[in-house]
Structure formats: structure tokens, C-alpha cells
Amino acid sequence: MLYQELIRRKRDGQRLTPAEIAALVQGMTDGTLGDAQLGAFAMAVVLNGMGLTERVALTEAMRDSGDVLQWDSGPVLDKHSTGGIGDTVSLMLAPALAVCGAVVPMISGRGLGHTGGTLDKLEAIPGYNTTPDLRLLRQVIGMTGCAIIGQTGQLAPADRRFYAVRDVTATVESLDLITASILSKKLAAGLDALVLDVKCGSGAFMADLAQAKALARALVDVANGAGCRTSALITDMNTPLAPAAGNALELLVALDFLTGRAVPPRLWDVTCALGAEGLVLAGLAPDTAPGRKMIDDAFYSGRAAACFGQMVAALGGPRDLLENPTTYISPAPASLEVAAPHDGVITGHDTRAIGLAVIELGGGRRQPTDRIDPRVGFSDILPEGTHVTRGDTLARVHAADDATARAAAQSFLAACQIGGAAAARPLILDHIT
Ligand code: URA
């Protein structure tokens, strides 16, 4: 099969057969499909979409492009977000689910498009190995119940390559490609159950509720069809979920959350809601109310924090990261406050613009091979609904130098909406089963 012929047919809006899709995925995996061809195929799918049979074929071929894990104990449970800004939930939830009795092999991704990635946040920890071999992965999970890692060469390698090309070719926002990408990794990890956080709003890939619902429906149907008990919460992404955007800065928020030093209310609510839902799907709680209590206890007792600390140490990071984060996470050289230009109420953020500003600062990638600077981004982001007076600090920029800090401060200012009154917006917008 000639790849350019398959790309041409997709470009012209035709359907591909499962065998043709499998051939393209084989080419992604063995490298015979070049980056230009992969980018062109992705764009053809973005523009013309896929039918259900094509979507399932793409998901299954990408799952089977590497190993599919099997576990002796369980239930094997995971959570996945479709991507947002300040979304540090995975860092806290993986250990919380583990201490509630789940086995959590959390295969996570890097930043994608304007959104941050869990792996990039973890790589801000010196020594943390995001790509352990299967022996170490099993050992860490045996010791702690969870491991947040990246796709090793053996897990869904087709997605790893496709993801990197989509990240820099404006081909992320596709229901078909997001479904195949998320589920190929998750299904390759051998899950019994999966709870999805489908983000909706200015910082999400699906900006409006109808699109987010369609994505949630596609993910839930394909995952359940593949034998993994799955449901989704659709949650608001019209403002950063944590008061920070940027890899090390978000990691610090997660460490403060786990230790109870500072717990942002929106982050707490989304984390606990997803946790309760996951425990029900995994059969560890009969309903979300007792599930919620189990998750609360995991955090309040400090057991989730201890589990996270053990996981970090087992994967090569420092043993006292939770107690002494600033010993290991160095600040960016330049920092600048973003001052409110006038009095008012913060009515929301152009969250996507904040994510793009983090990329401009060097905290995300322009090319798949780019190295990122984990130190840069925004911290102390005031939440929606805050009354400010002129001169108040809306956020703090962290940058490699003063000039980029000033440019980022301008971008943040343009992305921060200050008006007369903030409309109350629900945090959890829907529940798709
Ligand atoms: N997360 C993924 O893993 N893949 C996507 O395509 C989008 C979000």
C-alpha cells in the first residue's frame, strides 16, 4: 500500500478500511511513514473526520503497536484528562487511588498543543525516571500501588510518535485522533476501569459543551466496547485549574496539595469527584458518596502524600521531595508581578492564551525534539471571581530573562478578563456513562 494514496483518499473524505489504517499505524511504528506524511494524514483526519469503524481500527492498531500489559492483582484503574492548563490532578490522584486499593499504572503524556503534560511536570523532579523498563514498573507498582510514567518504547509506540507530530502541526483538536491517542495508551496498560476528565472551555481542546460531550461519548463508548469500564466527567477549563501554569510551578502546587500546605478549592473538587467516580468504576466503592469519603481520607490521613513520596523515590527521585521541595526545584532566573490595570472582578481567563504564553516562555515545545525549561510559567494566578484593585498582583511570571518575563506579563494581562461581575459557572458540567 502506498502511504500517499491512503493520505489522498482521507484528504478527499473517503473511508479507509481497518487493514489500511493498520498499514498506516505500522508505518508510524516502524518509521516508514515519514513525519511529513504523518502530519498530512493527521490534517486530513482533522478536516474530514473518521467513521466509527475507522476510529475503532485506529485505536486498536495503536494499542497493538507495542506491548499490552497484564497484571496479577487489581482492580487496575486509571484516570485521564483530555488536557488543560494548571491540571495537576493526576499527580495527586494516582497515589490517592492506590491507597484506596487500586493498581494504578498511569501512562501519561507530555505537553500537547497549548496544554501541559504530566510527564513534563514530573521531569522537573531531578532523577525521576519517566521511562522505566517493565521490570522496574512492576516493581514500583508492587511497592506503592502506582507509577506515573511515560510510554516506554514498548507501550503504544505509534501514539508516542503521532502525538509528537500532532503537537507541532496544529492537528490536536480532533475527536478521532484524541480518542485513539488516549485510549491506545490506556488500553495498552491493561486497565479494568478508567475515569476520564473531559475538559471544556477556552483552555480545552473542545471549547464548547457540545464538542466536549461528543468527545466524552466517543471515549466512553470505544473504551467500554474494548472491555474497560469507563465513564467521564466534563469539567470547566475556562480558567486554569490550579493557580499555576508551567511544569515545576504546577508540580509545587501538587506537592502543597498533597501535604495540605495549600489546597486550591477547584483543584480539590475536581480531584475528589474524579477519584470517587474511579473507585465506583473499579468496584472499590459502592457509590460516589462512600468513594468520596475514601478519597478524602486518603488525602487527610497523609497516606496519598506518603505514597507519592515513595513512588518518586522508587523511580529515582529524592526521598524528601515532599518535605523539602525547594531544595530540588530551582526557581527561574527572572520573575515579575503582573499588576491589575484597574479595579474589578476577574471574570475568567483566555486559558489557551496562557498555555501559549508558557510555550513562548520555553515551558512547552515548538518542535517535537525541543527541550523545555521546567522552571518557567505563571504562579499565584488569582482565581476567577476575585475582586481586585488596580495594582494587585494577578499572577507572577517566571522566565529565563527579564525581556521574556515582560513579554509574558503582557500576554497574561491580555488573557485575564477583569469586568463588573463574574457569572457563577459550574465546575462539573456533565457526567457521561
Ligand atoms: N491526551 C492524549 O493523550 N492524547 C490526545 O490526543 C489529547 C490528550
- Residues 183, 102 within the same domain: yes
Q: Is residue 167 part of a domain?
A: yes
- Per-residue pLDDT of 230-243, as tens digits, reads 999 999 999 999 99
Report strand pairing: 104-107 vs 146-149: parallel
Residue located nearest, by CA, to atom 8 of ligand 1: 82
* 146 in any annotated domain: yes
Compute the C-alpha angle 381/259/119, nearest 5°: 65
Residue 311 lies in a domain: yes
293 is catalytic: no
Residue tagged active-site, from 55, 78, 144, 231: 78
Active site residue 202: no
Q: In this structure, is residue 398 part of a structural domain? A: yes
Q: Are 366 and 414 members of one domain?
A: yes
Amino acid 165: pLDDT: 94
Q: What is the pLDDT of residues 282-292, one digit of tens each?
A: 999 999 999 99
Q: Do 311 and 337 fall into the same domain?
A: no
Are residues 236 and 116 part of one domain?
Answer: yes
How far the first Cα of the chain sits from its last, in Å, is 39
> Cell digits for 203?
483552555
CATH code, 197: 3.40.1030.10
Same structural domain, 105 and 217: yes
Whether residue 215 contacts residue 251, with contact meaning beta carbons closer than 8 Å, is answered with: no
> What band does 113 get if pLDDT is binned at 50, 70 and 90?
confident
Q: What is the mean pLDDT of residues 216-227?
A: 92
Residue 427 lies in a domain: no
pTM of the model: 0.91
> Which grid cell sits at 106?
498511569
pLDDT band at 153 (very low <50, low <70, confident <90, very high): low
**Residue among 46, 168, 169, 172 whose CB has most ligand 1 atoms within 8 A, to mutate:** 172
Give nearest CA residue, ligand 1 atom 5. 178
On whether both 125 and 273 belong to a single domain, the answer is: yes
DSSP state of 110: -
Q: Say which residue the cell 518535605 belongs to.
A: 323
User: Residue 59 falls within a domain, yes or no?
Assistant: no
- Beta strand extents in 47-170 (DSSP E only): 77-81, 104-107, 146-149
User: Can 166 be counted among the known catalytic residues?
Assistant: yes
- Residue 207 has, within 13 A of its CA and on its CB side, a CA count of 7
| Percentage of the chain modeled with pLDDT above 90 | 89
Mean pLDDT taken over the chain? 95
Distance 83 CA to ligand 1 centre (A): 7
Q: Among 143, 142, 176, 153, which residue's Cα sits nearest to residue 50?
A: 176
User: Is-catalytic flag, 181?
Assistant: yes
Is 80 exceeded by the pLDDT of residue 368?
no
Whether residue 411 lies in the annotated active site: no
Answer positive or negative: Cα dihedral of 199, 204, 209, 214: negative
Instruction: Please name the residue ranges forming H helices in 155-246.
Output: 157-167, 175-188, 209-225
Count of structural domains, the chain: 3
Q: Which of 38, 148, 178, 183 to mutate to test the pocket of ligand 1 (most atoms within 8 A of CB)?
A: 178
Cα 309 to middle of ligand 1, angstroms: 27
| pLDDT bucket at 152, cuts 50 / 70 / 90 | confident
Catalytic residue among 10, 55, 63, 80: 80
Residue nearest to atom 3 of ligand 1 (CA): 182
What is residue 1's predicted lDDT score, i.e. its pLDDT? 83
Q: How many CB atoms lie within 10 A of CB 224?
A: 14
pLDDT confidence bin for 377, thresholds 50/70/90 = very high
In whole angstroms, what is the distance from residue 13 CA to residue 25 CA?
Answer: 19
Give the strands of the sheet with 229-236, arranged side by side.
77-81, 193-200, 229-236, 428-432
Extract the C-alpha cell encoding 368.
517535537
CATH (domain of 393): 3.90.1170.30
- Which residue among 315, 348, 373 closes a domain? 315
* Residue 118 annotated as catalytic: yes
Residues 265 and 369 grouped into a single domain: no
Banded model confidence at residue 424, pLDDT cuts 50, 70, 90? confident
Provide the 3-class DSSP secondary structure of residue 418: strand
Strand partners, 417: 348
Distance 298 CA to ligand 1 centre (A): 28
> Who lines ligand 1 at CB under 6 A?
82-83, 109, 112, 172, 177-178, 181-182
Q: Are residues 122 and 214 in the same domain?
A: yes
- Determine the Cα–Cα distance for residues 296 and 103; give it in Å rounded to an integer: 18
**Catalytic member of 63, 185, 266, 352:** 185
ipTM of predicted assembly, 2 dp: 0.96
Q: Which three cell numbers stand for residue 287?
A: 457509590
Residue 205 CA, ligand 1 centroid: distance in Å = 9
Q: 20 φ, ψ to 5°? A: -65, -40
Whether residues 262 and 177 share a domain: the answer is yes
Q: Is 80 part of the annotated catalytic residue set?
A: yes
**pLDDT for residue 131 is more than 80:** yes
| In a domain? residue 66 | no
Can you give the residue range of the structural domain that contains 373? Answer: 331-419
pLDDT in tens, 293-323: 999 999 999 999 999 999 999 999 999 999 9
Please classify residue 186 by burial: count the beta carbons closer than 10 Å to its beta carbon, then call 0-12 exposed, 13-18 middle and 19+ buried: buried
Instruction: Give distance in angstroms: CA of 172 to centre of ligand 1.
Output: 8
Flag whether 257 is in a domain: yes
Domain's final residue, options 250, 282, 315: 315
181 C-alpha to ligand 1 centroid (Å): 5
Shared domain check, 16 and 82: no
How far is the C-alpha of 277 from the C-alpha of 271, rounded, in Å? 10
Catalytic residue among 55, 186, 199, 229: 186
Asked if 168 and 108 sit in the same domain, the reply is: yes
Query: Are residues 400 and 301 part of one domain?
Result: no
Closest residue CA from atom 6 of ligand 1: 178
